[in-house]
Amino acid sequence: MVEITHKNTTLRTAVAEGIVKVSRQETIDSILNKSVPKGDVFEMAKTAGLFAVKKTSDMIPDCHPLPVEYTHVDYEIEGLSVRIKMEVKAIYRTGVEVEAMHGVSVVALTMYDMLKPIDKGVEINNIRLVSKKGGKSDWKKYADQGLNAAVIVCSDTISAGSKEDRSGKIIKEKLEGFGVNVADYTVIPDEVEDIQKVLNSHVAKETNLIIYTGGTGLSVRDVTPEALEDLLDRRIPGVEEAIRSYGQERTPLAMLSRSVAGVKGKSLVLALPGSSKGVEESMDAVFPSLLHLFKIFRGARHD
């Protein structure tokens, strides 16, 4: 199965539909009158569809088993056609569109099976996904806002040239993937004066995103949080909590990190761990949804 451990657990919703077409009005009448010999078509097919949704991962090899928390089936009669619509919801790391489409397919097949003794002209048509939401793709509307960023690597060893940076490059690559222009990529010593000087410089230039990596551990030499905290106009504790919670699900050592998130002027300031794994997880935890902040800065309606 596809790797999904890096994804966030969110509410996922999908709606799928399909059409069962019969050949004569008498078939529709029999469905509505519940006089089909095999039983109540709508109720039987609905029940089969509910089972199908829950068993999707048993039938489709690459589908992940997931906790389905809501399934709803609707029928709409349009002439000689019955439109089946199924909605599925789950709070998980991957979407439920295949579950919804599998459910619709089995509803349609059950209807076909129940109707074929009285109508040899039954057809199944147009099984398709109508909509889905809840994943990272929902946040693409916040990307490509023309934002610019600065990535600052705080490390005595890297600035001295005795070690190569990986974490800053990960941040840069991920930001560029969201359409953010990384205008500055700098390596500095993990010193309070250097950290603050770079921050003030970028705030003065109204750099949208100022992201530090390194210096957030518990060593006496890790001073990035202290250097930034006093300069921020306000902290954003929810971002810090999201980063820590995401990391904690993957390694107990995440509780030792001291990430910082806040606002200075018109700039969003983040201090992330220095390890490549830690910084990758931190970015995955809050991007691209964090880019919504710049919509707020510009006075856009929260939606």
- Which positions are catalytic? 113
d(CA 136, CA 138): 5
Neighbours of 66 (CB within 10 A): 20
Encoded tokens for 160: 């001295």
Nearest residue to 105 via CA among 119, 89, 122, 126: 126
Contacts of 93 (CB under 8 A, 6+ apart): 4, 5, 7, 8, 9, 10, 64
What does 82-102 look like in DSSP terms, one character per residue?
A: EEEEEEEEEEESS--HHHHHH
Nearest residue to 22 via CA among 111, 84, 128: 111
Whether the Cβ atoms of residue 82 and residue 29 lie closer than 8 Å to each other: no
Neighbours of 105 (CB within 10 A): 19
- C-alpha atoms less than 13 angstroms from C-alpha of 284 in its C-beta half-sphere: 19
Q: Could you tell me if residue 118 is left (phi over 0), alpha (psi between -120 and 50 degrees) or otherwise beta? A: alpha
Whether the Cβ atoms of residue 179 and residue 144 lie closer than 8 Å to each other: yes
